[in-house]
Amino acid sequence: MVFKRRDRRSPVQVASELVYPRGGWTRAFHYVKHRVRRLPDSPDRIARGIGAGVFASFTPFYGLHFLVAAIGARLIKGNILAALSGTFFGNPLTYVPIGVICLQTGHFLLGTEYEEGDTQGLMGKFADAIGDLKNNLLALFTDRVADWHGLGQFYDDVFYPYMIGGIIPGIVAGIICYYLSLPLILTYQLRRRAKIKAKFEEIKRLAGETTAGPAPRSLRSGRKSAKGTE
């Protein structure tokens, strides 16, 4: 296949590059920025897509951020590819502060309590939810009894507050990124069009000089004989 990697990566390499990509986060950021600026679309639609991607990073649907970003971009008439790139805002370096902000906001809006620094309890709720999923999946094929207690507590204490609390910060961050990226993309596209136009004019000028060169010798001799006849 055309887009298949030549060097196959092990699961450990895939996981490590999700945390720290090859070449570092700075190189990855510049690569994403370069790809976004060269998208063949209007600056407004590209900036809308970026905003949708940033908003998706504030949702608890990990593993589905691309889908959320694409749906959001479609709803606000943004560029879908830009939206997928905008999800880069959510990465292992920002997931923790984003999660804390969303959980604090969600519990505040719901009138519940969020214990800051309760990392062990939060990780325990994740572990209980994963354990319930595993147990209930096995219960479909064995005589195990399905238990939804861990999942229910995870939904009440983490998932639902995260989902509610991520709406406002996600919208604010998306709008900020929209207004920051719009003039940058517009300036880049204008500069790129000017360079392409200048290059085209230079090629046109060189082509004109080539066609306007001295006439062939036979044609010049024919012109002289015609003048002598007159």
Domain range list for the chain? 23-197
Q: Tokens 């990073």 belong to which residue?
A: 57
90, 18, 20: which is closest to 52 by C-alpha?
90
Structure tokens at 35: 């790809």
Mean per-residue pLDDT over the chain, rounded: 76
Gap between the Cα atoms of 36 and 101, Å rounded: 27
Q: Can you list the alpha helix ranges (DSSP code H) found in the chain? A: 11-19, 24-37, 43-56, 65-75, 80-86, 95-110, 119-139, 149-154, 160-165, 167-211, 217-229
Ranges under pLDDT 70 in the chain: 1-38, 114-124, 126, 211-230
Q: What is the pLDDT of residue 62?
A: 85
The string of pLDDT tens digits covering residues 7-43 is: 565 654 544 444 445 555 455 555 555 566 567 778 8
Q: Tokens 């900020």 belong to which residue?
A: 176
Q: What is the pLDDT of residue 88?
A: 86
Q: What is the pLDDT of residue 6?
A: 58
Q: Indicate the pTM of the whole model.
A: 0.69
